Amino acid sequence: MRKMLLAVLYTAFAFGANAGSLDGLLTGDMKKLALVEPVALPEAVLLDGAEGEHSLAEYKGKWVVLNFWATWCAPCRKEMPSLQRLADAMPEIAVVPVATGRNDPAQIVKFYGEAGVTSLPVLRDPKSGLAHQMGVLGLPVTVILNPEGQEVARLIGDAEWDSGEAQSVLKAMMAE
């Protein structure tokens, strides 16, 4: 019960503020992007395909496009190739997909192959701990992190992350 309350409060806090400096750029899929005052992320251990432990702290100092997804998620299947293309187009940003829930590492590798994903990390949140703490209630959800590792924006649902609109928004955020 306490975890659910924390997730609801975290989500309410994150969506309660809306930094309007990018409003003119929020077109196309980016209309769904909610800008927030910086919010610290909870600590979490993520696993790679070989059960190695990782943390989002590994990406501090970089802008991060953190994508929560699952191998069984149809919108995720549609969105994943655009995340790969974003990583290719903007290598200064860390594109970090996190498979949340039960996702067999072999199925993730298969999914990546089918989606044309060649350079994104295989990271898992097998018990959905991070997803729950961050109030992720459906998939896909993409969270933008600033170089301090704080959430500054969130998009619920799929998007074409390599689109001109998305890249313009990300570049503007990085310039602030």
Q: What does DSSP assign to residue 116?
A: T
Per-residue pLDDT tens digits of the chain, which is 176 residues long: 444 433 433 444 444 444 456 778 899 999 999 999 999 999 999 999 999 999 999 999 999 999 999 999 999 999 999 999 999 999 999 999 999 999 999 999 999 999 999 999 999 999 999 999 999 999 999 999 999 999 999 999 999 999 999 999 999 999 98
CATH of the domain at 141: 3.40.30.10
- Count of C-beta atoms within a 10 Å radius of residue 172: 13
- Count of C-beta atoms within a 10 Å radius of residue 9: 11
Number of domains in the chain: 1
Range of the domain at 64: 2-175
Torsion of CA 95, 77, 30, 171, to 10 degrees: 20
